[in-house]
């Protein structure tokens, strides 16, 4: 993604994102913690409402990277039928409502120092009969922080670090900073992009 620290003129853009959960079967082993989320994960991710700055635009995947007030960067995929990220500019200020990325499965793996990332897309129903694309990401990465009270995990992958809400039926027992894990999560996916009351298409 192209990135920039230069702030451009303010653009009021409201992005409503959904992170509708998908159910995956666990593939456990005697030595690995491996828990898959169920249907209740659909509403597990907290709704985030922030003003953020566009720091990355990827026309290939039609996604944007947004930096919040505390410096956290979140990647949001936009359904091409809903909005065109090429109409955004680096430095644009956006008002965004979205469900945080949701950790759906995690298991410890042997550490070989190699981090990997695999992405797949799955169609999910959205309002108005539109089929949004849910980006499912599977990574091998290193845990940087486990917040058991807020049920959040910060994971450093091959390209960047992401903080994930944890599905209700995913256990955090035995996980700690420094663990190498294989994790599957669903990233935020925008289903509506508006600017001055008009769709950004």
- What does DSSP assign to residue 158? S
pLDDT tens across the length of the chain (201 residues): 554 444 444 444 444 443 322 222 222 222 333 334 444 444 455 556 667 788 999 888 888 887 877 787 777 877 777 778 888 889 887 766 666 678 999 999 886 766 666 655 544 443 344 334 456 788 899 999 999 999 999 999 887 788 888 999 999 999 999 999 999 988 776 655 655 555 667
Show me where the domains of the chain are located. Answer: 2-196
User: How far is CA 38 from each of CA 20, 109, 128, 157, rounded to the nearest angstrom?
Assistant: 11, 23, 25, 24
State the virtual CA torsion across 71, 76, 82, 87 in degrees, nearest 10: 50
Calpha distance 97→87 (Å, rounded): 19
- Terminal-to-terminal C-alpha distance of the chain: 20
Q: In this predicted structure, what is the pLDDT of residue 14?
A: 46
Instruction: Please report how many Cα atoms fall inside a 13 Å half-sphere around the Cα of residue 8, on the Cβ side.
Output: 14
The structure's pTM equals: 0.58
């Amino acid at each position: 993604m192209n990135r920039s620290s230069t702030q451009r003129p303010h653009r009021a853009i409201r992005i409503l994102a959904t992170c509708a959960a998908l159910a995956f079967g666990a593939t456990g082993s005697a030595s690995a913690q491996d828990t898959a989320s169920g249907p209740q994960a659909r509403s597990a991710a907290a709704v985030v409402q922030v003003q953020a700055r566009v720091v990355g635009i990827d026309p290939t995947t039609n996604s944007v990277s947004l930096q919040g007030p505390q410096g956290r960067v979140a990647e949001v995929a936009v359904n091409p039928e809903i909005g065109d990220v090429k109409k955004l500019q680096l430095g644009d200020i956006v008002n965004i409502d979205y469900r945080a990325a949701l950790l759906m499965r995690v298991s410890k793996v042997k550490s070989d120092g190699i981090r990997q990332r695999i992405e797949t897309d799955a169609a999910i129903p959205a309002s108005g009969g539109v089929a949004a694309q849910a980006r499912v990401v599977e990574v091998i990465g290193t845990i940087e922080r486990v917040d058991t009270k807020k049920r959040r995990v910060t994971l450093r992958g091959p390209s960047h670090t992401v903080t994930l809400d944890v599905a209700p039926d995913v256990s955090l027992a035995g996980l700690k900073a420094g663990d190498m894990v294989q994790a599957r999560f669903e990233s935020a996916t925008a289903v509506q992009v508006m600017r001055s009351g008009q769709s950004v298409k």
